[in-house]
Amino acid sequence: MTPADQLNFANISNALADNCAVTRSPNNRGHAAVALLLREGSLSPEVLFIIRAEHDQDPWSGNIGFPGGRLNSENESPQQAAERETFEELALDLGNTRYLGRLNDLYGATLPVLVSCFVYQLLEPATLRPNHEVAETFWCPLSKLMEPERQQQRTFFYHGEDHTHPVIELLDPQKPLLWGITYRLILSFFESCAPGFSSVEQSEGKSSKNLSNDSG
C-alpha cells in the first residue's frame, strides 16, 4: 500500500483520533488558528485552499493558505477562532461538519506567530461565499499534493535576502505556490495520516517538526 492509498476518511479519522497533538503557548507571539477542510473526491479526499487577497497589512498576502486568522481574545479558544474565521471568510458554518482532529501547533519561523490547525470533513456540498480577505478558493485532491513532480525547491526574496524553500506547485505557473506555514501543516497532516510519504525536504534529511527557516 502506497501513502496515497492510505488517504481515505476511515484511515484519516483513525489517525487523527490517535494523534496526541502537541499544543504550545504563544510565548508573547500572536496566536492564529486555521481550518483544514476535507471533502470526498473522485481520486482521493480533497482539501480546500484559499488564495489570500493582496493586502499590505497581511503577512500572508497573496499566498495559498487555509481559512483562519488570529484569536480575538484570551477567552476565545483556537478552535473557536478557526471556526469563526472560516465563517467570516467563506460563510461556511463548521458546526455542520465532522470534526476529525487537531494537528501539532507550529511556530512561525520568520513571523512571531503560533498557528493551530483543526481538521474537518464536509459531509454535504457547500456553497462558499468568500469575503474581501479571500481572492480565490479551490479544492485539491490530497493525492495531487503527493505527486513527485510537484515537489520542488524555489527561491524567494524577502527581508533583503534570497531564501530557498520546499514548495508544491499546484496551479498554473502565474499562480502562487504552496509553501511556508501552510506547506508545513500539510506535511504534518501527511506525517499523521499517510506514513511513508516523502517530500523534497524530507528526502534531504529535514523534518517538518524542526523546520527553522521556513517563512510564516
CATH for 3-206 (3.40.50.970, 1.10.3720.10, 3.30.70.100, 3.90.79.10) = 3.90.79.10
C-beta pairs of 90-97 under 8 Å, 24+ apart in sequence? 90/50, 90/128, 90/129, 90/130, 90/131, 90/134, 90/137, 91/127, 91/128, 91/129, 91/131, 92/37, 92/67, 92/126, 92/128, 94/35, 94/37, 94/120, 96/123, 96/124, 97/37, 97/121, 97/122, 97/123
Task: Scan for cell 508573547, then name that residue.
Answer: 28
Count of residues making up the chain:
216
- Residue pair 179/166 in contact (Cβ under 8 Å)? The answer is yes
- Residue pair 109/213 in contact (Cβ under 8 Å)? The answer is yes
What letter represents residue 176's amino acid? P
From first to last of its 216 residues, what are the pLDDT tens digits of the chain? 677 888 999 999 999 999 999 999 998 899 999 999 999 999 899 999 999 998 877 767 789 999 999 999 888 999 999 999 999 999 999 999 999 999 999 998 778 999 999 999 999 999 999 999 999 999 999 999 999 999 999 988 777 888 898 999 999 998 999 999 999 999 999 999 998 887 655 544 444 333 333 445
Sign of CA dihedral 110, 112, 118, 121: negative
In whole angstroms, give the CA distance from residue 84 to residue 34.
10
